[in-house]
Amino acid sequence: MVTAAATIHPHQGAETINSAQQAAEALRPAAGRAAEVLFALGIIGTGLLAVPVLAGSAAYGVGEALKWPTGIDRKAHKAKGFYGILAASTLVGLAINIPALHVNPIRALVWAAVINGVAAVPVMIITMLMFSRKSIMGPFTRTGHMLRVVGWIATGVMTVAAGLYLVGL
């Protein structure tokens, strides 16, 4: 996201990107003739990763919060709520592409990235606090100093990036 913003904003301004074609053109100064192919591969890869991850995480999150049986390893009739959320999330993702809804897919991608980036900060902080507590992790407690340092550095970088975005820099 940082790389795309650093490339696109000085040349075209992120607020003027309303289509995949405009985004690919904005990458041309950095990627040259390969901009369109590079952008297409990036979007396809993102879509292939995002749909199952976002739908799955929504299903797990809602299911766990409501104490429903969850998991892909369960049969559908044993985890109806989990699979219902999974199906509904996938359908919402597909519905975004219906022209009559007038959803700008590029703006939707940007907002999804922003929301994920901001939401990741408290999740990373909680994860970092939990993963070294024996009362929570039991025999899986991670006590290695280097992993803890790298984890807190990543958490700090993400916190700064989200903070800078929120204050408008």
pLDDT in tens, 131-149: 888 898 888 887 778 888 9
Q: Rounded to whole angstroms, how far apart are CA atoms 77 and 32?
A: 52
Q: Is the pLDDT of residue 76 over 60?
A: yes
Residues 126 and 95 placed together within one structural domain of the fold: no
Residue 163: the pLDDT is 86
Q: Which residues lie below 8 Å from residue 38, measured CB to CB, with a gap of 6+?
A: 24, 27, 31
Residue 1: the pLDDT is 47
Q: Summarize the confidence of residues 118-141 as an average pLDDT.
A: 88
Residues 98 and 115 placed together within one structural domain of the fold: no
Residues 65 and 125 placed together within one structural domain of the fold: no
Residue after which a domain boundary falls, among 52, 75, 103: 103
Q: Is the pLDDT of residue 12 over 70?
A: no
Total length of the chain: 169
Q: Which residues lie below 8 Å from residue 76, measured CB to CB, with a gap of 6+?
A: 83
Residues 86 and 4 placed together within one structural domain of the fold: yes
Residues 92 and 131 placed together within one structural domain of the fold: no
Q: Summarize the confidence of residues 35-62 as an average pLDDT.
A: 82
Domain boundaries, position 84: 1-103
Residues 82 and 99 placed together within one structural domain of the fold: yes
CA 34 and chain centroid, separation: 25
Q: What are phi and psi of 103, to 5 degrees?
A: -95, 125
Residues 71 and 127 placed together within one structural domain of the fold: no
Residues 89 and 125 placed together within one structural domain of the fold: no
Residues 67 and 112 placed together within one structural domain of the fold: no
The DSSP result for 55-103, as a single string, is HHHHHHHHHHHTT----TTS-GGG-HHHHHHHHHHHHHHHHTT-GGG--
Q: Summarize the confidence of residues 109-118 as an average pLDDT.
A: 77
Q: Rounded to whole angstroms, how far apart are CA atoms 84 and 82?
A: 5
Neighbours of 24 (CB within 10 A): 20
Count of structural domains within the chain: 2
Least confident interval from 21-35, 67-81, 108-122: 21-35
Residues 38 and 117 placed together within one structural domain of the fold: no
